[in-house]
């Protein structure tokens, strides 16, 4: 009986602390913010249109961006893509698929002081170029790689 009372007291003390912190205003719902979704960028059809929707003017090709992915994807529904940047002050990395209905497939913010590297899987409806779009020092840069798809991932 003593053991279960002790367990109950330990469990309830944590809940009491959380309830007290909430009641006193330590935890406020206003302290949590989600990043704003850029719907316009995800509705674009091409590289330069995406750059403009993200607030840029033009993107320049760069050899300091590398894309790692298979040359041939057997299943377009899950194509692994990794992007790394050697550009200083990389702020964001985005992945675009040229022939998809909406080009922008993924966008990642890169916090200052972290390694500018992302890895994800994208969906590709057909053989297409993919673009790695990097924002560094307020300017946009890109690299391109063609991936051949043998089985479509966007409904085909």
What are the boundaries of each domain within the chain? Answer: 2-31, 39-149
**Which tokens go with 102?**
């909406």
Homologous superfamily of domain range 39-149: SoxY domain (2.60.40.2470)
**Which tokens go with 140?**
């946009």
Residue with tokens 């960028």: 41
> Tell me: the pLDDT tens digits for 113-131?
999 999 999 999 899 999 9
> Tell me: the pLDDT tens digits for 51-91?
998 899 999 999 999 999 999 998 899 999 999 999 999 99
**Which tokens go with 56?**
């840029």
**Considering the chain, what is the average pLDDT of its residues?**
82
- For 85, counting Cβ atoms within 10 Å of its Cβ (0-12 exposed, 13-18 middle, 19+ buried), the class is buried
**Which tokens go with 35?**
């990043």
Nearest 10 degrees: CA dihedral of 119, 124, 127, 131?
-40
């Amino acid at each position: 009986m003593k053991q279960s009372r002790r367990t109950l007291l330990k469990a309830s003390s944590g809940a009491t602390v959380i309830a007290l912190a909430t009641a006193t205003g330590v935890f406020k719902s206003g302290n949590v913010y989600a990043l704003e979704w850029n719907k316009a960028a995800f509705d674009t059809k091409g590289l330069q249109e995406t750059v403009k929707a993200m607030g840029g003017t033009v993107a320049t090709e760069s050899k300091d961006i590398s894309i790692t992915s298979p040359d041939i994807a057997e299943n377009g529904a899950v194509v692994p893509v990794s992007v790394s940047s050697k550009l200083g002050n990389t702020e964001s990395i985005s992945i675009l698929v040229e022939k998809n209905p909406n080009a922008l497939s993924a966008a990642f913010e890169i916090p200052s002081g972290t390694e500018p590297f992302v890895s994800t899987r994208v969906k590709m409806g057909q053989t297409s170029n993919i673009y790695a779009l990097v924002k560094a020092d307020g300017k946009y840069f890109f690299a391109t790689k063609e991936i051949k798809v043998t089985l479509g991932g966007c409904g085909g």
